[in-house]
Amino acid sequence: MTDIDRTIHEPVRLRILAILSGVDLADFKFFVTTLGLSKGNLSSHMDKLEQAGYVEVQKGFNGKIPRTAYRMTDAGRKALADYWIALDQIRTACTEADGPTPS
């Protein structure tokens, strides 16, 4: 019974990783607008993904305006793949319970 990775399982972070898995680089603003999050909320989710080693942060400037962008790491890619596998296992694994005789 493989465990669910809670870091990934949180819906917001799952969406973030799903996006990053197809994009190579996406910035702070983009996530705020597409996911409809408050900046604070996004910031803390990104912290968690970073601390888990699933995303890398790239801080730079767009002219004089700061820009923070995120990229998925290999570990993140692996973890996400494993996550989907674990979910599929749950989805499939049913059908052998005790048959409790009703009353």
Partner DNA sequence: CATAAGGGTTTGTATCACAAACTAGTTTGC
Partner DNA sequence: GCAAACTAGTTTGTGATACAAACCCTTATG
- The tokens describing 68, both together, are 């923070």
Question: Does residue 2 bind a copy of itself (CB under 8 A)?
Answer: no
The answer to whether residue 102 forms part of the interface with a copy of itself (CB under 8 A) is yes
As given in the structure block, the two tokens for residue 6 are 């809670």
Q: Which two tokens stand for residue 67?
A: 């820009």
Rule CB under 7 A: is residue 102 a binding residue for DNA?
no
Q: How far is the CB of 78 from a copy of itself (least distance, A)?
A: 16
What's the chain's length in residues?
Answer: 103
CB atoms within 10 A of CB 6: 10
Q: Contact between 78 and a copy of itself (CB under 8 A)?
A: no
Instruction: Show contacts with DNA in window 41-100 (CB under 7 A).
Output: 41-48, 59, 62-68
